[in-house]
Structure 1
Amino acid sequence: MKILVHICCAPDAVYFLKRLREDYPQSEIVGFFYDPNIHPYEEYRLRLLETERICKELGIELYEGEYDLESWLSAVKGYEDEPERGKRCAICFDYRLLRSLQFAKEVGATHLTTTLLMSPKKEFLMLKESGQKVSEGSGIEFLALDYRKGGGTQEMFRLSRELELYHQDYCGCIYGLFKQKKGPVQWDLVSFGGRRPGSKEELSFIKGARLFAEQELGLSCKEWEFGFLNWKVLQGKLEVKGQTIPSFVRPYSPSIRGLLKADPVEKVGRVIYYNKGGLRVILTEGLRDEPLEFFDNLCSPTFLVPKEYEESLLRNRVSAELQAEINPDKSLILLIGSLDAEDIAYLPADTLQDGRGISMEWLREFLTKEQRGIALGRKAYLLAGASSLGKPGARYFEERTGRKVSPLLCSQTS
């Protein structure tokens, strides 16, 4: 007996796969992550990473299906406004289970099931009907397993918390995002490039690091979620004589109402001060962002500009535009190694506005080199989110654990 399990996400899968193995101990179980409905792609990658982690934890082979979003969108066209658990969901189930059935045949499975059956957000009978319909006459039996009963849902949530799994706040598709998400959804649909603080890209990087550290290197890991005051620049521009000056905006710079025209007053060190709106320009070596070492509460619109423009900035009036948002947000810190390690150093999980930051390739090589020291308790490393905004993750860790951390200096972060 070989069972192909269509997997939708790690929280729904963790208890389902555990029970399936207990109920069918002699069966070969194979996972298939086929979820082109999940949008945006960053959310898809995040759910896939967590699914990989639990499958490796349980020793279950996992295959990834195609991310054919356009085809899925065509399949549900005309049903965009359907309520959850309505006709669009039924079409979506048929679509994913039909492809899963095809893959089940490819790998020689005798039975098919899906972790969607575990989801409290899904209609069990609708899923059962879909599974039986697509598998009829195929020679593959659909297993409509109701593991929600008898405290199964509660055990699913308990295991998810215990394993510190990412728990999404909407089913997956763009239509569900707008209907189910509490609060604004635009940040779920926008990517700024790189791994900015609080972004799904940053979270995926941390989760990917955990997957590698635990499963490939056998190192212990522990996560904490922390809240911080996030800052996002929506639009910014600095002009001299109608010419745009290359620049970045210093974190926590507030918005400028309309167009600000200001004249230089003085230069102190590498900072040029202007006569209106608290405007400042910080001169930098080349066009590069600078991380905040600490949150200093200064609230002036500030641009980072290469020092080659110093003379022009000191001699001319500038025009500045800036729109930014400052809101409470959440990020993660990941401790790789023991909390009792002799020394704990931190690494930034996020990237600067210019894209600089450590890469996954660099991190893997670094952790592999440090594996023995980490395993012996001599060193531990804290991968901290939102580090470029005053290191709130590192400070939260110190407050939460009583341990001090030191920055790890490396070429990837300089």
Structure 2
Amino acid sequence: MLVHICCSVDSHYFLQKLQTEYPEEKLTGFFYDPNIHPYSEYYLRLLDVKRSCKMLGIDLIEGEYDVENWLEAVRGLEHEPEKGSRCSVCFDRRFEISAQKAREMGETSFTSTLLTSPKKSLKQLQAAGDALAAREGISFVAPDYRKASGTQEQNIMAKEDALYRQDYCGCMFGLNIQRDQQSKLADELFVPISGQVQPESIEERIEMYEKRWQMEEEHIPHKIIKQRFLNWRLTMGLLRVRKEVVPAHFLPYSTLRGEYTRGKIEYSIGKVHYMNRDEVRFITLDTYNSLAGTDYQTVTELIYAPPAFSKEVEVRSRLGITPYDLSVILVTEEIPDNKIEILCQSKTYSDVKEVLVNV
């Protein structure tokens, strides 16, 4: 039996139930999910599915990440709600490829872990699976493992085996709708031009889960814990001096009361130079290099290849700034001595992140 897999939280429980109910059946996992955006999120979910299948002794096949075909299939349905027409097309697309794969492999049946997802309509899934199975001359197996406290058992199992628990279905359209309803930033969909790994970003989670895999392979005791913290994202930053754009690097947690300010340097204390408005501060690139232990030759080089986020937070603290200070701190090659204009579009927000610790 070919088992289409959407994510480890759904598949881990579903596969074990199938192993119990169909003990003579050889199960093969098929990860085909071009609906998952961005690709880094797709990779992270695949990584955890590989771990789950390894734990359960199940072979796994990865399908093609043909995201362009998926986007074309749902064109015009971008604003549909969860469980709406876009989801139906999405199921059909993934079930169609899964059914074709099952037939190519000589399997007589296929199923999908989407059947255990509490966010999906079982009736909707069954109709799509049956229709495509009939077209390929095979059968669609649709057990209801949600009933009799199945969803609760699934959640308990996911927690016990420390599976990656994503908090959105997968596609960018559903994510945007969900984040709008939550009044939250959809920070999963953008990364800085520098490529710097941001706190509680998908890229940071990938680093952590890859490290967890390595620790498991080396039998190093560990645990994933959660912590609440103040997160920050910069979406745009610009410095103009006498109306000319000047290269400037915004240190993490730089925040304005609005998005725009202007003024001039009023005084300096040590190597920190203070603007006369909105608590803005400047340091030179030489000062930054001294504090960070780096050797950047230009600010442009720093902008496009900064050190780790945590290291830049340390730079803020070494400037004598308290942990609660959200003032804009700009790194420039020279301290401006003319009229300054600053555009800083940033957002700070309460967030929760996972942390891997040795035990």
TM-score, normalized by length of structure 1? 0.73
What corresponds to 2:187 in structure 1? 187
* Alpha-carbon distance in 2 for matches of 1:304, 1:102: 56
- Tell me whether 1:292 sits opposite 2:313 in the alignment: yes
* Alpha-carbon distance in 2 for matches of 1:180, 1:273: 41
- Tell me whether 1:53 sits opposite 2:55 in the alignment: no
| Larger RCO (alpha carbons 8 Å, 6+ apart) | 2
Residue 119 of structure 1, CA deviation:
1.0
* Structure 1 residues 111 and 234: alpha-carbon distance in aligned structure 2, compared to 1, 3 A threshold: same
Q: Return structure 1 stretches of 4+ with deviation > 6 angstroms.
A: none
Note the 1:4-83 alignment, pairs <5 A: 4-83=2-81
Is the 8 Å Cα contact of residues 100 and 136 (structure 2) preserved in structure 1? no
What corresponds to 1:278 in structure 2? 279
* Alpha-carbon distance in 2 for matches of 1:27, 1:265: 76
Q: Deviations over 1:323-349 (max 9, x none)?
A: 3222111212112x4x2xxxxxxxxxx
Is the 8 Å Cα contact of residues 222 and 334 (structure 1) preserved in structure 2? yes
Secondary structure, aligned partner of 2:27: strand
* Alpha-carbon distance in 2 for matches of 1:276, 1:86: 50
Is the 8 Å Cα contact of residues 228 and 353 (structure 2) preserved in structure 1? yes
Residue 65 of structure 1, CA deviation:
1.2
Secondary structure, aligned partner of 1:43: helix
Is the 8 Å Cα contact of residues 256 and 278 (structure 2) preserved in structure 1? no
* Structure 1 residues 303 and 156: alpha-carbon distance in aligned structure 2, compared to 1, 3 A threshold: same
What corresponds to 2:161 in structure 1? 163
Runs of at least 5 residues in structure 2 that lack an aligned partner in the other structure? 290-295
Secondary structure, aligned partner of 1:292: helix
Secondary structure, aligned partner of 2:136: coil
Is the 8 Å Cα contact of residues 265 and 273 (structure 2) preserved in structure 1? no
* Structure 1 residues 84 and 237: alpha-carbon distance in aligned structure 2, compared to 1, 3 A threshold: closer
* Alpha-carbon distance in 1 for matches of 2:273, 2:178: 47
* Structure 1 residues 245 and 267: alpha-carbon distance in aligned structure 2, compared to 1, 3 A threshold: farther
- Tell me whether 1:96 sits opposite 2:98 in the alignment: no
Q: Deviations over 1:142-177 (max 9, x none)?
A: 211111122211110101111222222332223322
* Alpha-carbon distance in 1 for matches of 2:16, 2:354: 27
What corresponds to 1:199 in structure 2? 201
Residue 205 of structure 1, CA deviation:
1.8
Residue 9 of structure 1, CA deviation:
1.0
- Tell me whether 1:266 sits opposite 2:241 in the alignment: no
What corresponds to 2:292 in structure 1? none
What corresponds to 2:213 in structure 1? 211
Task: In structure 2, give the amino acid aligned to 1:195.
Answer: V
Range with bigger deviation, 117-126 or 99-108: 99-108
* Alpha-carbon distance in 2 for matches of 1:325, 1:79: 30
What corresponds to 2:293 in structure 1? none
Is the 8 Å Cα contact of residues 252 and 326 (structure 1) preserved in structure 2? yes
- Tell me whether 1:326 sits opposite 2:348 in the alignment: yes
Is the 8 Å Cα contact of residues 226 and 331 (structure 1) preserved in structure 2? yes
* Structure 1 residues 253 and 178: alpha-carbon distance in aligned structure 2, compared to 1, 3 A threshold: closer
Is the 8 Å Cα contact of residues 32 and 64 (structure 1) preserved in structure 2? yes
Task: In structure 2, give the amino acid aligned to 1:184.
Answer: K
Is the 8 Å Cα contact of residues 262 and 339 (structure 2) preserved in structure 1? no
What corresponds to 1:412 in structure 2? none
Residue 186 of structure 1, CA deviation:
3.2
* Alpha-carbon distance in 2 for matches of 1:300, 1:34: 45
Residue 241 of structure 1, CA deviation:
3.9
Runs of at least 5 residues in structure 1 that lack an aligned partner in the other structure? 340-414
Which of residues 319, 330, 333 is equivalent to 1:303? 330
Work out the percentage of aligned pairs sharing the same amino acid. Answer: 40
* Alpha-carbon distance in 2 for matches of 1:319, 1:183: 30
Secondary structure, aligned partner of 1:282: strand
Cα RMSD for the two superposed structures: 2.3
What corresponds to 1:359 in structure 2? none
Task: In structure 1, give the amino acid aligned to 2:327.
Answer: S
Which of residues 125, 131, 134 is equivalent to 2:132? 134
* Alpha-carbon distance in 1 for matches of 2:236, 2:19: 52
Number of aligned pairs? 328
Task: In structure 1, give the amino acid aligned to 2:346.
Answer: A
Which of residues 141, 144, 162 is equivalent to 1:143? 141
* Alpha-carbon distance in 2 for matches of 1:63, 1:151: 30
* Structure 1 residues 16 and 179: alpha-carbon distance in aligned structure 2, compared to 1, 3 A threshold: same
* Alpha-carbon distance in 1 for matches of 2:340, 2:135: 73
* Alpha-carbon distance in 2 for matches of 1:185, 1:277: 24
Is the 8 Å Cα contact of residues 264 and 317 (structure 1) preserved in structure 2? no
